[in-house]
Structure 1
Amino acid sequence: MNKIWEGRGVPWVHQAILVAFLDALFVVISYGAALILRFDFSFSSIPEAYRSGYLWSMPFWIASTIVVFYAFRLYHSIWRLASISELQMSIAAYIVLLPVYGLGIIFMHLRMPKAYYFMGFIISFCMTTALRFSYRMFQTYFGNREGAGDEEQNRIMVIGGGAAGQTLIRELINSRRLHTKVCCVIDDNPNKIGRVLEGIPIVGNRDDILTMVDRYKINHIIYAIPATTGKNQKEILNICKETKCRLQTVPGVYQLVNGEVSVSKLRDVDIADLLGRAQVKVNNDEIFRAIRRRKVLVTGGGGSIGSELCRQIAKAKPKQLIIFDIYENNAYEIQQELRRSYPQLDLVVLIGSVRNSNRINQVMHTYKPDIVYHAAAHKHVPLMEDSPNEAIKNNVLGTYKTAMAAAKVGVKKFVLISTDKAVNPTNIMGASKRLCEMVVQMMNRKTDTDFVAVRFGNVLGSNGSVIPLFKKQIAEGGPVTVTDKDIIRYFMTIPEAVALVLQASYYAEGGEIFVLDMGDPVRIDDMARNLIRLSGYEPDVDIPIVYTGLRPGEKLFEELLMDEEGLKDTANEMIHIGHPIEMDDEWFEEKLKLLDKVSRQDSARIKEIVAEVVPTYHYKK
């Protein structure tokens, strides 16, 4: 029977014929039962005229029922997925059957008891509708219990008793391939506790998660509240990760809106879900309007930030996108990706260094971009401590040369990607980025181009960040290395950071340093422990954590704003503006020339000169 219902190897037409046959049988049974009920279950008491009328009317009753059901596509549905829409179609079909039956009574000159018509109609509706939901009922109440004793079966707890949770539970129940058993639901709404969702009990709120995991022997938890992010999500997932169950979540609220919530869309919970920060929102209309039909150049376009900039810019349909990068492999990868995703995009990919004045001038002169996003930079703190001259040549002088070339060809906006390490820097990389900010503010005063900088903290998953390192160390069995137990950092995902960069560039009027709201800082030690738990291990038991000490130039915490800058709000509550700091531009340009000269000589004096220009830079001599 299951084969017929499931359609495994049996065409759906055969299934429809079977259901039509059963409909016909139920119509005969329904009106026969109605006639017997009318005469108090005494078949001998039924007058011969009524028996003849019953037999005379049945062919019409059956034919009209099947024709109307077919017109309402009641033989086309997948009944193991039956829902409210199928019930609505059944009700509509029976409403249409009322006048059809009435016409039949008139033309056949039937003279049957009124109770016969009424009871037969009601019994017929109940039986044909019950037929269509019978498979789902059996699947819900019995099918999901099959193999309950199988220890390999996934025993699932669903967090969230809303629409997303209901959709997932329904699919999990109806799919035999997944070999799962949905055991319980958790929801913080007190009005839902004690009730059932798709036959599954809602057993408590977040405080009951640990208890219910033990009671129902749960080994798999699905977080199905796409509309909830930030602190609430962090608190619930922090409880869940203590259970050592596999954790999965739905991607986001837009998936629910598009009707895309399904088992296939689930993903494992990752460290970004535990940041405890509200979902970043930007005005895509403003961003797309600012970029559409304009030429855009991205330096360092093959890097972590640069490549994501290129992806989001490509969506805005620019007139032309120019990617400039010194690393050919990175440039090739983003080139191929964008060609696959956006075949109509006018894409130019160029190899070269921002340190090469002739090359960057030639690129600017040839393509004359309207907007430049300058993401090319050396960013690794320990490496730059050992090669400070390279940090100055690439970051500071590269920015200066790119900015000069942009101004010469009349670029409208120049956006520097900066970092929180530029604030009160203790390392040469941070100091070099502070110098880059000073360059763009000076250039904004000297030229007609709007020069701005966007400053934010660490991004999850970027090249060289701690997350890929931790994942690699966990895969190798540990130890996971953390520099200091108390070290904290601000974190944001790469797509979030880039979206805010694009939004900030829309607000840019020239000279601003935009500061992104990174949420609350995260303890790196907590992040390492969470990542170990999300990988299915116990910190300090399965995977040891080793503290290696702060590296040269590294701080326990980063700041996003210098004391003298102050803050001004923008239309986006996650983007703020630091006021420009006054300085002597002529003196600063002289210092840039000195840095250029000294960096070529690989002089040990480089940090001393940087400290003269950036008074907040403190380094160990």
Structure 2
Amino acid sequence: MTAVITSILERIAGIPRWQKQAIVFLLDIILCIQSIWIAYSLRIGVWIYWDYAVEKVVLGALLTMIPTFYFAGVYKAIFRYAGAGMMKTLVRAFFFYSVPILVIFVIVGIDGVPRTIGMIQPTIFFILVGFSRVTARYLMLDILNRNRFGGETKNVLIYGAGNAGQQLAASIQSEPAMRLHGFVDDDKRLNGQKLDGNKVFWSGRLPTLIEKHDITDILLALPNISRKKRRMIVEEIQQFKVHVQTLPNMKEIMDGRVSFNDIRELDIEDLLGREPVAPHELLLGRTIVGKTVMVTGAGGSIGSELCRQIVRIGARRLVLYEISEFSLYAIDQELQTYASEQGHQHIDIVPLLGSVTDAQRLAFVFGRWQPETVFHAAAYKHVPLVEANPVEGVRNNILGTFEVVNAAHMAGIKDFILISTDKAVRPTNIMGATKRGAEQILQAFAAKAGNTKYSMVRFGNVLGSSGSVVPLFRQQIEAGGPITLTHRDVTRYFMTIPEAALLVIQAGGLAKGGEVFVLDMGKSVKIIDLARTMVQLSGLSVRDEARPDGDIEIVEVGLRPGEKLYEELIIGNNPEATKHERIMMAHENFTPWPELLKLLHALKKCRDREETISLLENLVPEFEHNRDNAAQVSAT
């Protein structure tokens, strides 16, 4: 029987749209006549199939229905997606239909026709038409689509019995790959209640529900909860072998409406990210509001987020300086669109191609656009690549920083902020040593007499950046494993990109000259725990000695050249508090300017790998380079 129904539905689905509209139109005429017959029979108390009175009502009703339904757009809707929008159209159509019917048959009156017909018939007609739309949706979606679907059906629970969960459930009804088994909520009072026909269960019953319904996916419909609360919920779910996905927060859902397409993978920043601290508006605005701001490396992960925040805060002009054509194009287009949408059209966004090592280009840019604040984010930051290419790493990270600082010094800008890294503290790799060298350049310039405030902001890993382990682990999980881990004892600090960018800008607002600002990164995270969490949240299990039949194996491959087990943020032990609770300050020693200048000249001439590393060790005395590891990478 199901096969016959499916075959009929497939034939209907395959006919041209105008034919479907004609069928619906004829169906509505039949339903209109049917509603008149029912209304008349109910009024007189006897089933009358046809008489002169019925004929009068049919004539009046059809003459009213046809133009009203046409102009109200009843036949423009797509039946299979009938929902709130279609019901609004029907309500509007029946309002305009009911008015003349009431006037003709109730107020004016027609000889032989009971006046109450004018009130009963529109009500019955609306019920019949509404039922026909709901039935069509059920047949085309729940029966036809699901029977057509040949893939594996997922058994789903929605965590969150609120407005977002309700909208998500309505959207899932049209997804043949999903079978919704109800809502889960931590409010025990909702247990046993129903939301749009779907049962609500208390979260304490999760283990039973997952086993009973063979749940494969849990969708978090909690767009407005705190990160702390989200972490608690995910830790509760994490013990089960289910795939966890989530809705973004409501700010990211443009129109405030939720659909299945808004569901995304649960990002690890949802778990590791801390609750944001309200920014100090005075610190944000001091180096930004009404000023010309320049960002080097504007297309990178940190640089691009700095640009977004600078546009939002209200700079007068934003100069984007980037060596990658594609990255510059992408961030320029994004910022132009964002500025237009948010009413910041007054901001002049200037995209400029150029290298930080090109002194002439920098001199022209500073002279032409005269920036007042510079955020220097351009750098090579991938540890293994810089380890394999120390000469280019030094040229970009150290000599490039010198050229930008020198151009800024010559132009007499007010504020210069260097984006540094925790790897600059007692570095064991070339990348970290180059960033410590860049810091010393700013410290040396800050010691000179001048109007520019030079400062450095040091922080650890940012989640979602191009160098983060998170996207790598996600790719390896999607490929079926294994996850490659350098060492099971490796720990790292993590921070979300937006939080890091906002704190960098506020640190710049605190600068008086020569400070090394250190961001409070929170607690360090064991990378092996991060890997296990990502596996479990994908609905899979870790394969190890305790569980040899697991899905994804975690394999240790050994520390990469120059890699540490853990990172530090301060060289000494004397961090000072600042006006901001998550920004600390340190004053650290640096190479005096005459000696620094000699080393910079030597590095500029040097093209030999070993000589470059030796000069770097002179520039950064605390640099402890592992020569055995260095031998593993190719010379440049």
Q: Given the two structures, how large is their TM-score scaled by the length of structure 2?
A: 0.75
Aligned to 1:158: 158
Aligned to 2:578: 568
Conserved 8 A contact 2:429-2:561: no
Conserved 8 A contact 1:229-1:276: no
Cα distance in structure 1, aligned partners of 2:104 and 2:481: 80
Matched, 1:129 2:130: yes
Stretches of structure 2 lacking an aligned partner (at least 5 in a row): 1-7, 338-347, 628-636
Aligned to 1:212: 209
Q: Deviations over 1:54-108 (max 9, x none)?
A: 4333322343344444454444444444445555555555555555334313545
Task: Tell me the matched-pair count.
Answer: 592
Aligned to 1:17: 25
Cα distance in structure 2, aligned partners of 1:89 and 1:476: 47
CA RMSD of superposed structures (Å) = 4.7
Shift of 1:483: 4.0
Of residues 85-94 and 268-277 in structure 1, the stretch that sits farther from structure 2 once superposed is: 85-94
Cα distance in structure 2, aligned partners of 1:486 and 1:123: 72
Aligned to 2:269: 272
Q: Deviations over 1:179-208 (max 9, x none)?
A: 432233222233433233343322332x44
Cα distance in structure 1, aligned partners of 2:298 and 2:241: 39
Q: Deviations over 1:263-315 (max 9, x none)?
A: 33433334333325346887999979976986554434565434555677688
Q: 1:553 to 1:334 in 2, by over 3 A?
A: closer
Conserved 8 A contact 1:490-1:558: no
Conserved 8 A contact 1:486-1:525: yes
Cα distance in structure 1, aligned partners of 2:32 and 2:579: 71
Matched, 1:26 2:34: yes
Q: 1:479 to 1:56 in 2, by over 3 A?
A: closer
Secondary structure class of the residue paired with 1:104 = helix
Cα distance in structure 1, aligned partners of 2:460 and 2:316: 28
Q: 1:27 to 1:443 in 2, by over 3 A?
A: same
Question: Which residue of 408, 411, 430 corresponds with 1:409?
Answer: 411
Shift of 1:239: 4.7
Aligned to 2:355: 351
Q: 1:432 to 1:282 in 2, by over 3 A?
A: same
Aligned to 1:47: none
Secondary structure class of the residue paired with 1:351 = coil
Q: 1:185 to 1:15 in 2, by over 3 A?
A: farther
Aligned to 1:334: 327
Conserved 8 A contact 2:167-2:257: no
Question: Which residue of 226, 242, 258 corresponds with 2:223?
Answer: 226
Cα distance in structure 2, aligned partners of 1:530 and 1:349: 41
Q: 1:97 to 1:382 in 2, by over 3 A?
A: closer
Q: Deviations over 1:520-565 (max 9, x none)?
A: 4321111122344456452434414327369656253534796433
Conserved 8 A contact 1:481-1:547: yes
Cα distance in structure 2, aligned partners of 1:98 and 1:149: 42
Cα distance in structure 2, aligned partners of 1:560 and 1:203: 49
Cα distance in structure 2, aligned partners of 1:347 and 1:73: 47
Aligned to 2:174: 174
Q: Deviations over 1:487-529 (max 9, x none)?
A: 3212234455345545655676765555445444321111122
Q: 1:209 to 1:521 in 2, by over 3 A?
A: farther
Cα distance in structure 1, aligned partners of 2:415 and 2:592: 22
Q: 1:189 to 1:76 in 2, by over 3 A?
A: farther
Secondary structure class of the residue paired with 1:323 = strand
Conserved 8 A contact 2:457-2:517: yes
Matched, 1:538 2:542: yes
Cα distance in structure 2, aligned partners of 1:89 and 1:385: 65
Secondary structure class of the residue paired with 1:258 = coil
Of residues 84-93 and 257-266 in structure 1, the stretch that sits farther from structure 2 once superposed is: 84-93
Q: 1:598 to 1:71 in 2, by over 3 A?
A: closer
Written as runs of structure 1 = structure 2, the 5 A alignment for 1:521-532 is: 521-532=524-535
Of residues 297-306 and 519-528 in structure 1, the stretch that sits farther from structure 2 once superposed is: 297-306
Cα distance in structure 1, aligned partners of 2:240 and 2:134: 37
Question: Which residue of 577, 581, 587 corresponds with 1:581?
Answer: 587
Question: Which residue of 403, 407, 423 corresponds with 1:421?
Answer: 423
Aligned to 2:630: none
Shift of 1:407: 1.7
Q: 1:473 to 1:21 in 2, by over 3 A?
A: closer
Conserved 8 A contact 1:210-1:239: no
Aligned to 1:486: 489
Q: Deviations over 1:465-502 (max 9, x none)?
A: 43455456667776544344333212234455345545
Conserved 8 A contact 1:19-1:75: no
Written as runs of structure 1 = structure 2, the 5 A alignment for 1:348-497 is: 348-351=352-355, 353=357, 360-361=362-363, 364-365=366-367, 368-380=370-382, 395-396=397-398, 398-423=400-425, 429-430=431-432, 433-434=435-436, 436-437=438-439, 439-440=441-442, 443-444=445-446, 446-470=449-473, 480-494=483-497, 497=500
Amino acid at match of 2:223: P
Amino acid at match of 1:375: A
Q: Deviations over 1:332-353 (max 9, x none)?
A: 3314435665599642212352
Conserved 8 A contact 2:32-2:125: no
Q: 1:282 to 1:197 in 2, by over 3 A?
A: farther
Cα distance in structure 2, aligned partners of 1:510 and 1:432: 21
Conserved 8 A contact 2:299-2:331: no
Secondary structure class of the residue paired with 1:182 = strand
Aligned to 2:246: 249
Secondary structure class of the residue paired with 2:566 = coil
